[in-house]
Amino acid sequence: MKNKLIILASGNGSNFESIVKKLRNKYKIKLISENKDAYVLQRAIQLNIDYELINYKNFGERESYNQKLFEYMKKEDPDLIALAGYMKILPEYIVEYFSGRILNIHPSLLPAFKGLNAIKKAFDYGVKYTGVTVHYVNNELDGGKIITQEVVKIEPEDTLEMLEEKIHKLEHRLYPKVIDKILRKLTISRR
Ligand code: GRF
């Protein structure tokens, strides 16, 4: 049986697409989004990937949304969960339940430039090197154990747009590679 990966995404979904294209033959992939307007849902439809919309706006308060998400995730029982531009914070009980099974990708060399707009923050700061981090998720924002990092050099002539392009290109290569490595190990240890 194929290992199961759940991707949680709220927006554009370029990372979702690169993961799907590279790994769909090896693993069972499913998308969850809380944003009914997210472009990632269009991508899932075009790529013919199962998705679940848990529309955040239909829930009166955050906790009822979180409960619904938790129930759904437990039912799906994925081997791995990859956050890819998921714009909500997972509650502690979800992080604990799936401890060691949730990954995130962040567009900076953590612990530098945590939180939103990390690429712009690094660019505005004037650092000469930035990059991409893939890490486990814990209950601290962008604070879990680092799995891997790769560096991007900021050239003097780079604009913010050019830097964004470099970072995203790297993300699209790095994230599927890390996910594959982790899921492959699980497959081998189960044999
Ligand atoms: C990526 O830059 C990722 O590092 C960050 O959110 C962005 C998502 O981009 N966590 P996309 O939706 O995959 O295009």
Please tell me the distance between residue 9's alpha carbon and the centre of ligand 1 in angstroms.
8
For residue 17, the number of C-alpha atoms closer than 13 Å in the C-beta half-sphere is 14
Percent of the chain whose pLDDT exceeds 90: 96
Q: Which amino acid is at 185?
A: K
- DSSP 8-state assignment for residue 2: -
Please tell me the distance between residue 163's alpha carbon and the centre of ligand 1 in angstroms.
14
The pLDDT value recorded for residue 187 is 82
Mean pLDDT score of the chain, rounded to an integer?
97
Nearest to 90, CA basis, from 109, 110, 73, 75: 73
Q: How far apart are the first and last CA of the chain?
A: 11
Contact at 8 Å (CB) between 112 and 134? no
Q: Is the pTM of this model over 0.85?
A: yes
| Residue of the CA atom closest to atom 1 of ligand 1 | 85
**Rounded distance between C-alpha atoms, residue 109 and residue 132, angstroms:** 6
Per-residue confidence band for 189, with pLDDT thresholds at 50, 70 and 90: confident
| Residue of the CA atom closest to atom 10 of ligand 1 | 85
Please tell me the distance between residue 172's alpha carbon and the centre of ligand 1 in angstroms.
9
Nearest to 191, CA basis, from 64, 38, 3: 3
Predicted confidence (pLDDT) per residue in 6-17, tens digit: 999 999 999 999
The pLDDT value recorded for residue 16 is 98
Mean pLDDT for 57-65 is 95
Q: Burial letters for 123-132: b for 16+ Cβ neighbours within 10 Å, e otherwise?
A: beeeeeebbb
Residue 190 reports pLDDT greater than 90:
no
| Residue of the CA atom closest to atom 8 of ligand 1 | 85
